[in-house]
Amino acid sequence: MIKAGKVSVNKQVVTELGFKADENDLIEVEGKLLKNEEKVVYLLNKPKNVISSASDDRGRKTVTDIIDSPYRLYPLGRLDFDSSGLILLSNDGELMQRLIHPKFEVEKTYEVTLDGMIREDELDKIRKGVRVEDYVTAPAKVELLRTNQNKYTSFLEVTIHEGRNREIRKMFKAIGYKVVKLHRIREANLELGNLKSGEYRRLKPFEVKKLKAYLDRSDD
């Protein structure tokens, strides 16, 4: 459409691919003015067995299938197919980049259930960082909440900021434990709260402002 001369910026036709326009510029396509879409953020309690994507070529259910919204949403980051809990969705591309960029070290907190009775000295390894494949994980915050001897399980709260693919599962596998349940309860300064599995809500303006202030701390 650009090559065909159907796009204009401030009433001037542009034919250069990659032409940069400012958010305050008047952009028209075939004579129709484009309007800036309102930026929104949703917080979803993702169920297990749902894809953290806007679409899936295998026809599986995605997080965007759950939310009934007039906006075209994208997940801000990812949450494993077999994990549940807090995930954010938005049409704000800039916010997405800031949330997922390693520079901002966005903390994410999970409730983790392990198969086995883990010891404090083993937790110290996670706190210091363990070798996973070809890298060493960043130090994590780990709290042992309780154990169940009858079911031979341990319940932990784990906070990380790297967020590599299946990182928590790999961390505990590296010290001989299997994660049987992974549920995210917090990201940045946002809490999952009492949302039930599959429920969601739109963030209020003050919550979005606080989230952006949290990210701004890395620019200081």
Q: Which residues are catalytic?
A: 80
Cα atoms in the Cβ-side hemisphere of radius 13 Å centred on 55: 2
Buried b (16+ CB within 10 A) or exposed e, 87-123: bbbbbbeebbebbeeeebebbbbbbbbbebebeeebb
Q: Which two tokens stand for residue 94?
A: 């800039």
Residue 186, beta-bridge partner list: 109, 191
Q: Which two tokens stand for residue 27?
A: 């952009």
Question: 34: alpha, beta or left, given left = phi > 0 and alpha = psi -120 to 50?
Answer: beta
Any idea what DSSP says for residue 111?
Answer: E
